[in-house]
Amino acid sequence: MTSYTKPSSNFDLSSPSPVYTLNSGHTMPIIAYGTFRSAPGEVGPAVIEAIKAGYRHLDLAHVYGNEKEIGEALKQVFNEGLVKREDLFITGKLWNSDHDVEIVPKACAHSLENLGLDYFDLYLIHFPVCWKHTGLETPSWGKSELGDTPLIDTWRAMEALVEKGICKSIGVSNYPLMLMHDLVTQAKIQPSCNQIEVHVYYQRESLVNYCLARNVSLLIVLIVYRLCMNLILISHIFSPPTIRFV
């Protein structure tokens, strides 16, 4: 039996925006501002206010359909001197219908153009599923047709983005345990993170421990409305006296 020594913490809580050091060597602010389901006309002002409030990590995705408006917001904060590009940590995501090897760099470039940026700090495979390409302006959704590009081939194309300096770090999102194992055992560049949903009612202990043991950081998505619905459902079924809503 081999001994195990717990690694030192990668957290730096001394900076104004506390950061975590990824396995790529780059630091990532530990709290991100998400833009999923942000309505047109609202997401730009919301991003600006988030930056004014101190957020330095923005979590974006092409399929959210709001990259161009966020790009205008970023242009405004840069022009006004609120922050510089290097002050921000920008996460982008590759959508399911853009997994083909020759499409990956085009999809990344398309998102960067929408945002008015030269690089991503972190770029993720959004879901571990390949759909047939439907165009960069029209990402597939709903009734989609499965593609045939293996996940590891998509990852190789992601690795090329790092080698070209287009992305500083790469990772995945919504990967379960077995697919994480497949990836870490085949990857030339290890995934810097796995973005997953975890909360008190969905703890995913095996997946969390697997990632942490391999120095793959976890970006935890806490979907507040879903958690509240779970609390409401449980309170109706069991009526536990200790549950309080705030």
Residues 79-134 have pLDDT tens digits of: 999 999 999 999 999 999 999 999 999 999 999 999 999 999 999 999 999 999 99
Mean pLDDT throughout 224-235?
43
* 175-185 pLDDT tens trace: 999 999 999 99
User: Cβ distance 35 to 70 under 8 Å?
Assistant: yes
- pTM across the whole model: 0.86
Is the pLDDT score of 12 beyond 80? no
Is the pLDDT score of 63 beyond 90? yes
Of the candidates 36, 33, 35, 67, the one whose C-alpha atom is nearest the C-alpha of residue 50 is 33
pLDDT for the residue numbered 221: 75
Catalytic choice (20, 55, 64, 123): 64
pLDDT for the residue numbered 231: 42
Is the pLDDT score of 241 beyond 50? no
Give the Cα-Cα-Cα angle 39, 42, 43 (nearest 5 degrees). 80
Give the end-to-end CA distance of the chain in Å, rounded to a whole number. 48
Report the C-alpha dihedral over residues 196, 199, 201, 206, rounded to 10 degrees: 50
User: Cβ distance 92 to 109 under 8 Å?
Assistant: no
Give the Cα-Cα-Cα angle 22, 27, 32 (nearest 5 degrees). 95
Q: Is 64 a catalytic residue?
A: yes
Strand ranges (E), the chain: 11-12, 19-21, 27-29, 32-34, 57-59, 89-94, 120-125, 167-173, 193-197, 217-221
